[in-house]
Amino acid sequence: MFRLLSDLEVSLNELLVACRESVDHFRDGTQIVASERIAQELTHIGDARETFIPALEQRIRELGDLPTMPDPDKEDSEMLLHRIGAAVTDNYTYAVLQQRMDAEKNILALIAKARTHDENNTSEELLNNLHAHAGNTIEKLSAFAELSPL
């Protein structure tokens, strides 16, 4: 039987995929950055982000859909490009930080999109908490980027 997904289901699944990808990329970034302090912060951010995944999955299931997984080929390709960039650049840390900030901005946009489809505000607390985490993450990454040479 075929069932059309609601706009909220689609939005939350897109957000879930972006969050899963961000966890993977934060963890991968720890092996590329030059600073141990930044690597530790990336690990901390990835671990904190991972705590949102079960809540997003549960909310999607409550709406009647199954959680979506990221495309592993796409992720592997992106990480390979990051590693190549790191291999040919003296300090790839700034680029990693910029990529992660861009991904966080995308997560903020996906949160805004999900909010527009959450007519009964049933996902409001989850979205607010994730929004706060993404905003704090951008601030932390931005501070590190200001200290990192280009």
- The residue-averaged pLDDT of 105-121 equals 95
- The residue-averaged pLDDT of 45-58 equals 97
CA dist list (Å): 9 to 25, 61, 110, 143:
24, 9, 12, 34
Q: In the chain, pLDDT over 70 holds for what percent of residues?
A: 91
Q: Is the pLDDT of residue 3 over 70?
A: no
The pLDDT of residue 149 is: 64
CA distance 106 to 112: 10
Identify the band that residue 107 occupies on the pLDDT scale cut at 50, 70 and 90. Answer: very high
Q: Is the pLDDT of residue 132 over 90?
A: yes
Structural domains in the chain, CATH included, are 9-66+80-147 (1.20.1260.10)
DSSP state for residue 52 in the 8-state scheme: H
How deeply is 108 buried, as exposed, middle or buried, from its count of CB atoms within 10 A (0-12, 13-18, 19+)?
A: middle
Q: In the chain, pLDDT over 90 holds for what percent of residues?
A: 62
**Which residue did the predictor score with more confidence, 79 or 22?**
22
**Cβ-contact 138, 102 below 8 angstroms:** no
Nearest partner of 25 among 94, 103, 89, 92, judged by Cα: 103
C-alpha R_g of the chain? 16
The pLDDT of residue 46 is: 97
The pLDDT of residue 74 is: 80
